[in-house]
Structures are given as C-alpha cells and as structure tokens.
Structure 1
C-alpha cells in the first residue's frame, strides 16, 4: 500500500520568522511597467502610453496596482514556500491584498519584507494530504512608504499522489482544445469590447453614486493561452532575468523538498555567475512544469499551465480597469481553484454585491468576482472592495 502521508513537521520552527527580503538592483523604468502590462494582457494606456498618461491625474505613467509583485523573487510566494516538506511540489492557492494608497512609478525602488504566517493540512481530491501554507509580503518603496500587503497562499503536495489520483494516462485533458478561425476572430471581438470600456472611460470618473448593487461588470477574456503567452508572462518578472534581482542566499530548492526534475538550482546566486542557463526557471527546476508538458505531467498537471501570480494580476487589473484612474482597490481576497491550461481561454466577470462607507469615510463598492474557462470550469474567485469617487 502506498504511503500517503505528508510530513510538514519542519514548518513549525519557521512560522513568524522573517526570511530574507526581496530587493531590486536598479529602480523601475517605464519599460518595466510596459513589459508587465503587455505580458498581463492589460491594454490600459495610462500604463504604457506617455502622452495619454501625461493628461491623467498622475501626470505621467503609473504602474498598475498588480505591479509590486513583479519585483519579488518568488512571485510573492516566498514566505509561503519555506520549510521542508519531503517529496513535495507547489502551486499557488491564492492571494489576499491590502493596498495602502501610494502608487509605483518609474524611478521607484521597492523591497519586500516577508514573514511566514501559518499552515494547515487538508485532504484533497487532487493529491490527498495537502498543505495550505500562507506567508505575508510587505512592499515598501524607497521612502519607507508601505505600498501594499500581500498574504500569499501556496498549495504544497506530493506529485506522486497527484499523478496517481489524476490518472493522466486516461485523461483527455492532455491535448489542447482546437479553436476554429471563426471562433478565434469572435474571441478577438469580445476582447475588444472590454478594451473599448477602458477607452470610453478614459480619464473620466466612475462615480460611486452611479453604480448599484446588482450591476454586472463587463466581461473580460484572455486567451487562448499558449506556451508563448505563458513565457511572455514569465519574462515580465524581474527575477527571471539574469542578475535581475539580488538573489537570496537562503534558498535551496532541494532542501524545501522538491525532488528529481523539479529540484535543480533555480535562482542560485553562485551558479548564476558561472552558468546562468542552469539557474533559469523557464528551463530548469520547479518552474519549468509551466512551459514543458512532460514536466507538467510529472507534477500531476495534464499539460502546460499558467502562473498563479499572473492569475492574481489578471484579477486586480480587471477590477482596476473598471474602477478607472480615480478609483482604487483597497482590499481583494482571491482564491485560485485551478490553473489556466494551454489552449484554454479565461473569462472574467464581476458583480457589485454591496455599497458602503467605511470608518475612514471612503466610498466603497464590494465586487464578487469569478473566473472560468470556456467550459465554465471555475479557476478563481475573489471578493474585493473598491474605492470610487463621490460626486
């Protein structure tokens, strides 16, 4: 009989103990912001068109609220992937964000103070005993201003049990769905409807007074996803570039419990100077499961799959785009139910479920969010509070 235990005993010693902070080498440039929004499929001109941005309330290009995580060396999951769980792998399980008000611009330098928070082990249909581990990220700028707090959830599990329980040999999900040319053209038209919403709002204000409980937010579509689109997303994170960030010296993939093809020396600061090819997560180590179907199947995934941190950015960008430049997400609690696979599309929808004025006098709307694929399978949900201007 297969041993189906998951040893999480090492985690207790590191809860609440800060790990090495994430630090940038050089300040952000406008090109970093452009690269990010293009990779996240977010065509909001205030983030990439300097002429349009100059006429905005900011007077220049501003980064989207999803942007701080791009500076981190682990997509924000660093403090939720700490401690050894033998023979394990990791996927993202969700993020909760609290935004403090300051925004990010070219010239800013961010650092991330990271603290493991807690964990719990549950039995899942995906991989049997599964560890849901959380860690906190505090993103500060060069002036010491807190930009945002992110509580990241990682899902750590045994890939051998995931393979056994998924029965991939008999799974028709190993092949990408096929889209006809007419279907692809229709998707592009549907995508443009959401982009036109951004254009129509422009520099205008979406007033709290003009929206109501029950209002449906416009649908947003991304995809079909591909190895190429996932690779574009991957390269928008600073840590995926050679010497793109100051590397951690306390990161040992094998010591975390990753085994076999998923171990390796991804982000090793010493090997990066000798042979950076061997430290690039697109090709070596646990991250390559996203871009190579053969490695995806080793960890219980049917084919290439997207990044949880990118999924989180899609959610924040969807909400921010609707709110406009005068609005702001103040809190968002996102739960990831399953990844985006190659060949799939992602469809986002939201509904206003509450209107309120908080203790600080801010006028807020609460939005219930859902993300599904073309078959209606849920990949993420969220409940978010957005501040809107008052007439």
Structure 2
C-alpha cells in the first residue's frame, strides 16, 4: 500500500490539550478492595497459568501463605485500562488507541483485601504525521498507584495515540497489512497448545534463577497467547474491574479547575457513552455494547476507526509482557521496570508469540539490587512484530 501524502489542510485542534499539560487529572475510583475472585478473573483473562495467583492449595504452601495478585494486576485496579491520565482534552472526530506503556514496581505485592488509589498527571504530548491517520497526537501521563496503607505499589506511564477516525477509515492501512482472518487447522492448534503448555510448565513451581547463574544471551522459554477471538477479547474486557456495572465512582481533584473526570473526548457518532442515562441503565456506558471499546469486538465498528477487524487491548499486551517476565523470575524475583512499545494490534484470529533474551547484567543498579536487562519481542503467526519491550528484572543474589 502506497504512503499517503501529507494533507496540509488536515489538522488536529489542540486548543483543549495544550493548557492541561502538568495538570492533575480526575477519573474513576473503584469502590471496594479487590478479592481473590478479581485476581483469578484477571489471570484467567490473560491466560496466565501461574498457580500462585489462582490455586489456593498451591499458594498457601509458598512463602506468601496465600494467593497474591500478579504485578500486572495494578492496571486492573485502575480506571480506563490505565490510560485516563493521558486521554485528556477534546478533539472532535477523534479515536484513541494505545501506543505503549512504561511501568515501575516498588516491591509491595497486591493481596486480596487491598484497594489501590491513583494520583494522575498529564505530562505532555507531541504531534506526528503517520501513514495510519495523517496528523496524529501522542499523549503521555503518569499515574502513581498506592494501596490503602499508603504503600507505593507502582508508577505507570502510558502513551495514548489519538487521531481523526474518518481519516484512518479512509486510508484503510490495516485492510492490507492485517491480512485475512486466520482459520487454524487442528494440527496447528495442537502445536500451539504444546507451546503454551511447555511454557507454563517451565517454572510452575516458581523457582528463581540466581543472578550469578544467568548469562547474557540466555533465552527465556517461548510463550504463546491465542488464538485471539471475540470470546477472549470479551473475557479480557470484563477482567478490568471498572468495566463491571457499578464498580467505580467519579472522583475529582480538589483545587484543580476542570480536572478532566469523565468528559467526552470527541468520539465520532456511536462511540460515546450516555453518562446520564447510565445512572438508570448501566448498559449505556458498558463498552461491550456502546462506547469507544466497541471496535474491539465488532468488525464494522473497528473499520470505522481504521482498525479493519476486531482487535485486542494495549493494556493487555503490556500485561502479557509483565507476566511473562515475572513467571521466569519466580517467587524470589521481581519485575522492576518494563517499557513496551506497541507496533500493531493483536487481531482476531491471530496468535501472539512472546520471546525474551537477557542482554545485560547490572550488579549495582539504581534500585540498589542486582538486575538483568531483558529484551522481549511479541510476534504474530506471520512473524510480524506487534510489541517490543526493554525490561529490568531483580533476581536473588
């Protein structure tokens, strides 16, 4: 597909964006602490078959003494797939997708009965011309996640990509690059399942490799997720707790004028919520039926925003990366930092292969602990890269 020339007359109105830089942001806050069912629902949705997070009998015989949440779970305890701090300001006719995420973790695990609270700040933006949609806005924001005791759990910084939906629909980039919906043979599915099973048996007991024994060039076991389907996308969507009816309330920031709590970002027709109507009928803000998430499970709606067919969630891809690393690191390891860039979506019918390699050992890190740096790459069945990430993982010394 030929590149489209830049249309100089096509611009993004940033008048409601610029003045918000550096401002604290409001948003949704979950009502209740998390429980074991929330944690189990999350790992089920991510196909993260680590018994520490779902098997009561296994977990009670570990050093933790009970089920704990995976590190990736922090995003499930936030509102809006963790992107609220970056998606601020109105741009008429826009849509939004994830461009990447960066996370830092500070060593306190989330356990059943914990409740997370978020401090959100919109930190900046840039505009670039893209083949996908022409003028495209890249926005970033920081969220600080603390539990009910004030313990620092994590910090996250997503990159949200906002663009004019009709321009992306007109260009239709993914009509050619996404390929046809893959129909898997029984033999192929058996092979996929074998890769999946080999991975989750590779460290089911949670043993941690020691820093001294890990070498640059070591490969992590290969993981596969999928085939992705409407069923798997729906399961993922419902595992984000804020997507469950009545699970959160809107929270402002005291002293901040127009702190962007639940404003309409400028969605095209058919992609916005009815916040007032949802007070009576919660389906009117349920993204599986209305609203901006419809394109994830509806080919027609996906085409209207330039995505061609049903596709997965950016926050989920970042969570696959975290889980992949944490599983290898075991019960005595910790993912300290993960920076993921999303190169393309996980489309319906695709599978995602995840592979990692140790590229550096850092004996004296800024964290005060020995770390290994690991490159992770996610590809689909055709070898096309959809995610790249650079990560630092703490191991016992």
Short-chain TM bin: over 0.9
How far does residue 204 in structure 1 lie from its aligned partner after superposition? 2.5
Give secondary structure in 2 for the equivalent of 1:272.
Answer: helix
Select which of 35, 38, 52 maps to 2:44. Answer: 38
How far does residue 252 in structure 1 lie from its aligned partner after superposition? 4.4
1:59 and 2:89 are equivalent in the alignment: no
Select which of 241, 245, 250 maps to 1:242. Answer: 245
Name the counterpart of 1:154. 160
Scaled by the length of structure 2, the TM-score of the pair is 0.93
Structure 1: stretches of 5+ with no match in the other structure: none
How far does residue 359 in structure 1 lie from its aligned partner after superposition? 4.2
Name the counterpart of 2:271. 262
How far does residue 205 in structure 1 lie from its aligned partner after superposition? 2.6
Select which of 222, 226, 234 maps to 1:223. Answer: 226
2:251 and 2:296 map into 1 onto residues whose CA distance is 23
1:343 and 1:205 map into 2 onto residues whose CA distance is 34
Name the counterpart of 1:372. 379
Change (3 A) 1:167 1:314: closer
Which is worse superposed, 355-364 or 80-89?
A: 355-364
2:14 and 2:27 map into 1 onto residues whose CA distance is 24
1:163 and 1:196 map into 2 onto residues whose CA distance is 43
Give secondary structure in 1 for the equivalent of 2:29.
Answer: strand
Structure 2: stretches of 5+ with no match in the other structure: 1-6, 253-259
Change (3 A) 1:241 1:375: same
CA contact (8 A) 1:21 1:113 kept: no
How far does residue 69 in structure 1 lie from its aligned partner after superposition? 0.7
Q: C-alpha deviations, 1:71-109, integer Å up to 9, x for none?
A: 112111001100112211000011111111111000101
2:217 and 2:314 map into 1 onto residues whose CA distance is 29
Misfit runs of 4+, over 2 Å: 170-175, 247-254, 270-273
1:337 and 2:318 are equivalent in the alignment: no
CA contact (8 A) 2:27 2:262 kept: no
1:27 and 1:337 map into 2 onto residues whose CA distance is 34
Equivalences, count: 383
1:295 and 1:161 map into 2 onto residues whose CA distance is 14
Give secondary structure in 2 for the equivalent of 1:176.
Answer: coil
How far does residue 355 in structure 1 lie from its aligned partner after superposition? 0.2
Name the counterpart of 1:277. 283
Give secondary structure in 1 for the equivalent of 2:308.
Answer: coil
Name the counterpart of 1:121. 127
Change (3 A) 1:167 1:44: closer
